[in-house]
């Protein structure tokens, strides 16, 4: 006996759930271990994150660098997302996880300051591909409310909740001793505390004047040199934001009553103008009715026209239910732009970074709760720019996800060609204005495709090559069904309450381009890919009646009760047009009796125009049986050479010929077992309660938001956990419960009508779940293998895996030379149980004698709308079948992985030669056989957060990393592995996180990532003009070092804030050093140029001196010559 042991992974959160792994070779089988030479080693594996795609989840702040043209977005979970041109994206995370309340770029310096809700500020270095924190400053006694960093200044103003203003040196991240106290700022202008600081900015024309806005409505113009207030401006309503005119003589305030007040800085007594943009003006001259608060206003001037005033909020209170609006006021015109989601923040993009110059605004970036919109201010009607980012992943909540790396190279151009016709029109003709950074140029060139299924029934294909993500094509599966127009026409289904078209699972064959989709309403749709547009007069429909009626008494006799599941009893096995028309109407109209033979959705009866792309081949629907709704489909697979699709649920499996549009087989799970099989169980048929959308798009406790519907019905914990171990165990139990809900259809959550929250009627403990006797089909695998031990020749067969750990084989009998099977049907023969594993079966695969994966056979793609000659040409190129086996020799290895363990079985002897217990206390959520470094391995993701890889066929552990200590249901549902060390999951309702477990990819990651910072010259400062320079009318500079430095202002209190060196300080020093070196080099070049010019000047001066000497000598000689001569002698 040969045994391999690995030590347990010791981790604080998963010590109790670490896997006890062992790979065991059965005695008497050393031959297979010697024949297969495994090349994969642990050195080939390393786990790291690569890139994050999608819209930032729960955004709350935004900043823009107008020179680098980089946009930064902060979120409520402490995440930082940076965007540049197409393909330039970056994700960072603050360790504390606190909300990012404000962001400030050091413009054109490659640095960013972030202020968090936990009263800390951080300096990020953006000069490296993976940004890192250089310095942090944690305030102890003050709550940060506002930050301001003037352009080309190193002094950061920080306003606090107490109304004080502190100043930080961003180079050293130390506090200055200069402090503006609230009581000195307002003095006697207010009898009460003015509230938090809501605005800080310096006068565009005088850096020595600081404008401070307090929440109560008081604004103070502070003189930094004299340390006193020049003017104080008071208004009755609270202030939300302040904006300067670029000349520094006026500023505008937005207030809580929907008004805008304009102030002249030298007239503090009253505002120069008060307007209510959305208020109704009474005829009697009274004040307009108050409106909603104007949350932000920006005032931007143009050189050759009227200024722009952009504001959010301020709508009248009578506009109930109206969507959020952005108002653009330009001259006498006012445009109100409705947004799809509430506005979080907006920024006006201008041509110049200097606040003292004409701003020349050209676009407005609007950050919404679930979208990012950029509006073109230069075109009539204010069109939006077409975004190059994949921000529409969450357009409808994602319910399933699949990842295909190294797929056929012609797929992406084919999908792009049909998807390019789906693009919206009416975008701005200008280029996307956020264009900074450089796209990374890595060595990875293989094509990658991601497929996402959504709650509205749509499917999106994404090009994921080279760490980018771009939508290729969108398919709407709901088009084949009739939509309910009113409440009376609600679909006659109780299987789901909402999202009846949600995608539950899908199967895609990249080579044949066949797509099969299963929805939550127990429907299956088969699609073919075509480049030609067709109009389908009648959508082909096949209704299948799947039921399993057994008595619940413990009886070994399984005969006699199985007739409803026999193929002969499947009456509705022909296309829709051949079925009796009264079958559907009889079931629909009989409101008194139980529903019977009624599908959950109604297929459309009108002609369906199908654009180039994926076109419907056949719709299969499960129908109600004697008042019981059909069970949701848990697994499906397609075999394109034979034209078969197989799907299964808790009742059994069904095989459909999608070319002939017929039902070939309708079999109960018990029929797959042989009579002498020790593993068969007595099935039971408990009554199913009404269920929501299968746990795919469900509500969170106390919330009905669409993004919360992506969470698992059991994701909301009702009782707090006191320790990490309890939290981990609680998650494992919930994940197990979630898998049972989504796969078996047994334990359905019931919807509580009061708060739209899910309640469970049964216990969610693992022990009670394990007592469930219902067996559900969990996986299928079409292959060319040996269905029986006695077989010496390979033949088509089907492997069936169940949630009880059984793997059964069924032999397929295909007609000889069956390019088309018009007359002879495909027959199935159950061959009994191949092997039994602990836990439900997740994945199955076949290896040849050399350990190479044997992929399922496929038919090369051909256009279904092409001519018959072209179809025949493609069919002749069908791949040859694998060679037959030699007598008495095992030539294949079946790789089987369940929720608990993995086994490798030699075929055809059906001997289990390797076994590995993956986990004892947890369970595997996802497992895939993937290609890696020229070989193959088994990749697993466990509920306790561990990612593991096992060699094949020996199941030797190669990688075990505790990647996600506290994961959630969304990750459990969307995690998937792919070839070449790639994997992904939905880390939030709006974002996809891609990771790699390949050492080679980790080593090349720096080359593949995009660059955020690129050397760009800062624009020249505006020309002051002759008269402004002469009479002092231009911008006044200020030496802040003399005011805020330690020499002038002293040291700040040590207890006020604590300096924390950043984890990226070494990298930051390198980046800063490279920047300093560059600055020194530029200075050296400038000095050389200056020296060269001075040398030229010296040469000219010397030449002029020589010329002057020569002239002096000539003059002297002339004087001597004519000294004694009279005038008449000349």
Residue 364 pairs in a beta bridge with 348, 375
Q: What is the CA radius of gyration of the chain?
A: 36
- The C-alpha atoms of residue 952 and residue 931 are separated, in whole angstroms, by 11
Residues 252-285 pLDDT 10s: 999 999 999 999 999 999 999 999 999 887 776 6
DSSP state of 385: P
Residues 290-324 pLDDT 10s: 899 999 999 999 998 899 999 999 998 876 667 89
- The C-alpha atoms of residue 152 and residue 67 are separated, in whole angstroms, by 12
pLDDT recorded at residue 865: 81
* Strands (E) located in 918-988: 924-932, 935-942, 946-951, 957-962, 976-978, 982-988
Asked if the model's pLDDT at residue 557 lies above 80, the reply is no
Asked if the model's pLDDT at residue 169 lies above 60, the reply is yes
List strands edge to edge, sheet with 946-951.
924-932, 935-942, 946-951, 957-962
Q: Give the contacts of 597 (CB within 8 A, at least 6 positions apart).
A: 543, 545, 572, 583, 584, 586, 587, 623, 624, 625
Please state, in angstroms and as integers, the Cα–Cα distance from residue 1013 to each residue in 14, 74, 85, 148, 438, following that order: 40, 19, 12, 22, 8
Residues 669-683 pLDDT 10s: 888 887 766 666 554
Residue 955 pairs in a beta bridge with none
Please state, in angstroms and as integers, the Cα–Cα distance from residue 906 to each residue in 676, 889, 913, 914, following that order: 22, 10, 7, 9
Write out the two tokens for 405: 């790396």
Q: Give the contacts of 403 (CB within 8 A, at least 6 positions apart).
A: 448, 449, 450, 451, 464, 976, 977, 978, 982, 983, 984
pLDDT recorded at residue 588: 43
Element (H, E) at 1118: helix 1065-1121
Residues 337-348 pLDDT 10s: 999 999 999 999
Residue 338 pairs in a beta bridge with 325
Q: Where are the alpha helices (DSSP H) in 569-633?
A: 582-589
Residue 64 pairs in a beta bridge with 71
Distance of CA 1062 to the CA centre of its chain: 27
- The C-alpha atoms of residue 305 and residue 332 are separated, in whole angstroms, by 12
- The C-alpha atoms of residue 918 and residue 916 are separated, in whole angstroms, by 6
Q: Could you give the 3-state DSSP secondary structure of residue 412?
A: helix
pLDDT recorded at residue 510: 94
More confident residue, 774 or 529: 529
Residue 784: other Cβ atoms inside 10 A: 18
Write out the two tokens for 363: 């676009």
More confident residue, 1053 or 789: 789
Q: Where are the alpha helices (DSSP H) in 440-595?
A: 582-589
Q: What is the mean pLDDT of residues 80-95?
A: 94
DSSP state of 547: -
Residue 201: pLDDT band with limits 50, 70, 90:
very high
Residues 962-980 pLDDT 10s: 998 656 788 988 999 999 9
Residues 624-644 pLDDT 10s: 998 889 999 999 999 998 899
Q: What is the mean pLDDT of residues 400-404?
A: 95
Residues 1030-1055 pLDDT 10s: 445 556 666 777 778 776 677 777 77
> What are the φ and ψ backbone dihedral angles of 183, each rounded to 5 degrees?
-70, -30
**Nearest of 512, 363, 339 to residue 435 by alpha carbon:** 363
Please state, in angstroms and as integers, the Cα–Cα distance from residue 110 to each residue in 52, 105, 113, 132, 1012, following that order: 21, 8, 11, 12, 8
CB–CB of 807/799 below 8 Å? yes
DSSP secondary structure of 420-438: GGG--S---SSPPS---SB
**Nearest of 594, 566, 598 to residue 582 by alpha carbon:** 598
Asked if the model's pLDDT at residue 477 lies above 50, the reply is yes
pLDDT recorded at residue 818: 47
Q: Find the length of the chain.
A: 1130
Write out the two tokens for 789: 């031990």
pLDDT recorded at residue 1065: 60
* Strands (E) located in 117-160: 120-125, 132-139, 144-148, 155-160
Q: How many helices (DSSP H) and strands (DSSP E) are in the chain?
A: 14, 63
Distance of CA 545 to the CA centre of its chain: 39
Burial of residue 649 (CB within 10 Å: 0-12, 13-18, 19+) is buried
- The C-alpha atoms of residue 572 and residue 470 are separated, in whole angstroms, by 42
Residue 912: other Cβ atoms inside 10 A: 19
More confident residue, 192 or 875: 192
Separation of first and last alpha carbons in the chain: 133
Residue 782 pairs in a beta bridge with 798
Asked if the model's pLDDT at residue 573 lies above 60, the reply is no
CB–CB of 681/773 below 8 Å? yes
**Nearest of 355, 422, 295 to residue 153 by alpha carbon:** 355
Write out the two tokens for 824: 């002879």
pLDDT recorded at residue 821: 52
Q: Give the contacts of 78 (CB within 8 A, at least 6 positions apart).
A: 93, 94, 95, 96, 97, 98, 99, 100, 116
Burial of residue 196 (CB within 10 Å: 0-12, 13-18, 19+) is buried
Q: What is the mean pLDDT of residues 133-158?
A: 94
DSSP secondary structure of 1083-1114: HHHHHHHHHHHHHHHHHHHHHHHHHHHHHHHH
Asked if the model's pLDDT at residue 130 lies above 50, the reply is yes
Geometric angle at alpha carbon 397, from 392 and 399, rounded to 5°: 120
Q: Give the contacts of 108 (CB within 8 A, at least 6 positions apart).
A: 65, 67, 68, 353, 1016, 1018
- The C-alpha atoms of residue 559 and residue 541 are separated, in whole angstroms, by 32
Residue 735: pLDDT band with limits 50, 70, 90:
low
Residues of the chain with pLDDT > 70, as a percent, come to 74
DSSP state of 131: -
Comparing 49-63, 123-137, 324-338, 763-777, the range with the smallest average pLDDT is 763-777
Q: Give the contacts of 699 (CB within 8 A, at least 6 positions apart).
A: 692, 708, 709, 713, 751, 756, 757, 758
Q: What is the mean pLDDT of residues 55-65?
A: 97
Q: What is the mean pLDDT of residues 877-890?
A: 50
pLDDT recorded at residue 370: 95
- The C-alpha atoms of residue 808 and residue 673 are separated, in whole angstroms, by 7
Write out the two tokens for 435: 């264009």
CB–CB of 721/729 below 8 Å? no
pLDDT recorded at residue 443: 62
pLDDT recorded at residue 18: 39
Residue located via tokens 């895939």:
928
Burial of residue 849 (CB within 10 Å: 0-12, 13-18, 19+) is middle
674: left (phi over 0), alpha (psi -120 to 50) or beta: beta
Q: Where are the alpha helices (DSSP H) in 778-880?
A: 868-876
Q: Give the contacts of 1024 (CB within 8 A, at least 6 positions apart).
A: 1033, 1034, 1035
- The C-alpha atoms of residue 245 and residue 243 are separated, in whole angstroms, by 7
Asked if the model's pLDDT at residue 661 lies above 60, the reply is yes
- The C-alpha atoms of residue 350 and residue 373 are separated, in whole angstroms, by 16
- The C-alpha atoms of residue 938 and residue 40 are separated, in whole angstroms, by 11
Distance of CA 164 to the CA centre of its chain: 39
- The C-alpha atoms of residue 632 and residue 652 are separated, in whole angstroms, by 11
Residue 792: pLDDT band with limits 50, 70, 90:
confident
Geometric angle at alpha carbon 868, from 867 and 872, rounded to 5°: 125
């Amino acid at each position: 006996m040969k045994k391999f042991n690995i030590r347990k992974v010791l981790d604080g959160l998963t010590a109790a759930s670490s896997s006890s792994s062992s790979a065991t070779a059965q005695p008497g089988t050393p031959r297979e271990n010697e024949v297969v030479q495994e090349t994969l080693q642990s050195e080939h594996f390393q786990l790291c994150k690569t890139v994050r795609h999608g819209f930032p989840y729960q955004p709350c702040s935004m900043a823009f660098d107008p020179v680098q043209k980089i946009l930064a977005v902060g979120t409520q979970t402490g995440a930082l997302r940076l965007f540049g041109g197409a393909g330039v994206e970056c994700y960072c995370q603050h360790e504390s996880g606190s909300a990012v309340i404000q962001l400030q770029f050091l413009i054109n310096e490659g640095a960013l300051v972030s202020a968090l809700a936990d009263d800390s500020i951080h300096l990020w270095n953006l000069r490296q591909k993976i940004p890192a924190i250089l310095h942090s400053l944690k305030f102890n006694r003050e709550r940060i409310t506002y930050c301001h960093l003037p352009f080309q200044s190193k002094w950061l103003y920080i306003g606090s909740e107490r109304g004080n203003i502190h100043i930080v040196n961003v180079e050293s991240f130390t506090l200055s001793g200069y402090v503006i106290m609230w009581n000195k700022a307002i003095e006697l202008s207010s009898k009460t505390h003015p509230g938090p600081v809501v605005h800080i900015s310096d006068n565009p024309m005088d850096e020595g004047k600081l404008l401070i806005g307090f929440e109560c409505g008081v604004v103070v113009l502070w003189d930094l040199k004299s340390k006193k207030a020049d003017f104080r401006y008071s208004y009755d309503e609270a202030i939300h934001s302040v904006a300067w005119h670029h000349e520094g003589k006026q500023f505008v305030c937005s207030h809580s009553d929907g008004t805008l007040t304009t102030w002249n800085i030298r007239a503090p007594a009253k505002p120069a103008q008060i307007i209510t943009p959305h208020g109704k003006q009474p005829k009697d001259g009274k004040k307009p009715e108050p409106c909603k608060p104007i949350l932000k206003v920006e005032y931007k001037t143009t050189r050759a026209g009227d200024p722009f005033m952009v504001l959010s909020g301020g709508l009248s209170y009578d506009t109930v239910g109206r969507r959020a609006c952005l108002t653009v006021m330009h001259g006498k015109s006012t445009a109100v732009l409705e947004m799809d989601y509430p506005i979080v923040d907006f920024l006006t993009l201008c041509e110049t970074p200097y606040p003292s110059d004409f701003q020349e605004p050209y676009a407005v970036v609007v950050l919404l709760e679930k979208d990012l919109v950029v509006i073109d201010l230069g075109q009539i009607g204010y069109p939006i720019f077409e975004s190059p980012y994949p921000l529409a992943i969450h357009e409808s909540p994602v319910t399933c996800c699949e990842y295909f790396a190294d797929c056929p190279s012609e797929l992406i151009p084919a999908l792009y060609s049909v998807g390019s016709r789906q693009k919206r029109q009416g975008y701005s003709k200008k280029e996307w204005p956020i264009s900074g950074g450089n796209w990374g140029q890595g060595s990875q060139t293989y094509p990658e495709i991601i497929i996402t299924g959504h709650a509205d029934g749509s499917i999106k294909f994404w090009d994921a090559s080279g760490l980018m993500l771009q939508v290729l094509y969108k398919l709407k599966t709901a088009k084949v069904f009739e939509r309910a127009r009113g409440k009376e026409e609600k679909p006659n289904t109780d299987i789901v309450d909402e999202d009846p078209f949600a995608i539950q699972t899908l199967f895609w064959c990249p080579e044949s381009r066949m797509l099969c989709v299963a929805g939550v309403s127990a429907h299956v749709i088969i699609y073919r890919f075509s480049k030609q547009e067709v109009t389908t007069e009648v959508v082909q429909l096949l209704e299948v009646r799947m039921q399993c009626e057994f008595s619940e008494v413990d009886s070994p006799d399984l005969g006699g009760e199985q007739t409803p599941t026999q193929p002969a009893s499947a009456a509705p096995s022909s296309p829709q047009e051949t079925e009796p028309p009264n079958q559907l109407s009889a079931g629909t109209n009989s409101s008194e009796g139980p529903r019977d033979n009624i599908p959950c959705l109604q297929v459309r009866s009108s002609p369906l125009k199908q654009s180039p792309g994926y076109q419907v081949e056949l719709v299969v629907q499960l129908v109600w049986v004697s008042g019981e709704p059909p069970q949701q489909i848990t697994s499906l697979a397609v075999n394109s050479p034979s034209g078969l699709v197989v799907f299964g649920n808790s009742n059994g499996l069904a095989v459909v010929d999608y070319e002939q549009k017929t039902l070939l087989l309708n079999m109960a799970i018990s029929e797959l077992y042989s009579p002498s099989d020790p593993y068969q169980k007595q099935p039971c048929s408990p009554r199913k309660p009404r269920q929501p959308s299968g746990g795919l798009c469900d509500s969170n406790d106390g919330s009905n938001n669409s993004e919360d519907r992506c969470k698992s019905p059991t994701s909301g914990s009702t009782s707090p956990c006191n320790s990490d171990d309890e939290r981990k165990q609680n998650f494992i139990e919930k994940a197990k419960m979630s898998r049972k809900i989504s796969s078996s259809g047994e334990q359905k959550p019931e919807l509580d009508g009061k708060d739209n929250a899910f309640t469970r009627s049964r216990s969610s403990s693992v022990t009670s779940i394990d007592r469930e006797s219902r067996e559900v089909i969990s996986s299928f695998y079409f292959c060319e293998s040996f269905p029986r031990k006695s077989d010496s020749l390979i033949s088509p067969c089907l492997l069936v895996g169940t949630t009880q750990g059984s793997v059964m084989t069924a032999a397929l009998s295909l007609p000889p030379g069956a390019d088309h099977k018009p007359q002879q049907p495909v027959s199935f023969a159950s061959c009994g149980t191949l092997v039994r594993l602990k836990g439900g079966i997740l994945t199955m695969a076949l290896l040849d004698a050399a350990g190479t994966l044997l992929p399922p056979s496929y038919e090369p793609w051909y256009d279904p709308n092409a001519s018959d000659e072209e179809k025949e040409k493609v069919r002749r190129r069908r791949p040859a079948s694998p060679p037959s086996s030699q007598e008495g020799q095992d030539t294949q290895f079946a790789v089987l992985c369940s929720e608990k363990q993995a086994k490798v079985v030699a075929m055809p002897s059906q001997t289990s030669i390797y076994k590995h217990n993956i986990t004892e206390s947890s369970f595997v959520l996802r497992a895939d056989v993937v290609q890696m470094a020229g070989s193959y391995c088994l990749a697993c993701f466990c509920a306790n957060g561990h990612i593991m890889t096992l060699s094949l066929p020996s199941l030797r552990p190669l990688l075990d990393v505790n990647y996600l200590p506290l994961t959630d249901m969304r990750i459990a549902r969307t995690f998937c592995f792919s070839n070449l060390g790639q994997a992904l999951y939905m880390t939030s309702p709006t974002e996809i996180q891609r990771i790699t477990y390949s050492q080679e990819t980790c080593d090349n990651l720096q080359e593949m990532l995009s660059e955020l910072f690129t050397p760009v010259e800062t624009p020249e400062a505006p020309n002051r003009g002759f008269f402004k320079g002469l009479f002092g009318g231009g911008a006044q500079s200020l030496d802040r070092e003399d005011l805020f430095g330690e020499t002038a202002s002293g040291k700040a209190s040590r207890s006020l804030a604590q300096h924390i060196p950043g984890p990226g300080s070494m990298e930051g020093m390198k980046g800063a050093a490279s920047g300093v070196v560059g600055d020194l080099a530029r200075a050296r070049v400038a000095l050389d140029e200056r020296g060269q010019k001075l040398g030229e000047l010296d040469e000219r001066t010397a030449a002029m001196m020589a010329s002057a000497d020569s002239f002096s000598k000539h003059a002297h000689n002339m004087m001597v010559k004519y000294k004694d001569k009279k005038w008449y002698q000349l």
